[in-house]
Amino acid sequence: MRILSIDYGKKRIGLAITDNSKIIAYPLKVILAKDDLKKTAMFLLEEINEYINEIDTILIGLPLMLSGREGAMAIEIKEFASVLKELTNKKIELIDERLTSAQAEKDLKNTFKLNRKKRAEKSDTMSATIILKHYLDRI
């Protein structure tokens, strides 16, 4: 079975997935968010349809503040997780993702010569991959 990781954003959502043995995390794709949470969750499930029977767990990055408190985005992500849970029988876990976007941006800037737009696109899948790698390191 595989694990899917989601880096949720208001505009773009980065996805990453493990191999079948849950050892290696791979960037998967970026999808565009829709105008409400249910439409976004349904679209996400359509986009990962080819993997859905192989996935047993879905991780969603939760952007806590450095203090550990939840901001507006964390609250929206919890609502998204709840909507997603209603639409699928997969285990849903929220994972602290503090600083993963900054780490992804730094890694992309140092590794690839990409313009700002390309870096932003790749940053979403890279963030989802980092969330997934951190999770795999803990299990």
CATH number, domain with residue 104: 3.30.420.140
What does the pLDDT read at residue 76? 97
Q: Which amino acid is at 52?
A: I
- 31 band by pLDDT with thresholds 50, 70 and 90: very high
What does the pLDDT read at residue 40? 98
The more confident residue out of 119 and 63 is 63
- 82 band by pLDDT with thresholds 50, 70 and 90: very high
Angle at Cα 70 formed by Cα 69 and Cα 73, nearest 5°?
150
Domain count, the chain: 1
Report the Cα 92 to chain-centroid distance in Å: 12
Report the Cα 36 to chain-centroid distance in Å: 17
What does the pLDDT read at residue 102? 54
The residue segments making up the domain with residue 130 are 2-138
d(CA 74, CA 51) in angstroms, rounded, equals: 26
Q: Using the predicted structure, report yes or no on whether residue 100 has a pLDDT greater than 90.
A: no
Neighbours of 66 (CB within 10 A): 7
| Cα dihedral 82, 137, 108, 100 in deg (nearest 10) | 40
Dihedrals φ, ψ of 62, to 5°? Answer: -110, 110
Q: Using the predicted structure, report yes or no on whether residue 114 has a pLDDT greater than 70.
A: no
What does the pLDDT read at residue 103? 56
Dihedrals φ, ψ of 58, to 5°? Answer: -120, 120
Q: Using the predicted structure, report yes or no on whether residue 107 has a pLDDT greater than 60.
A: no
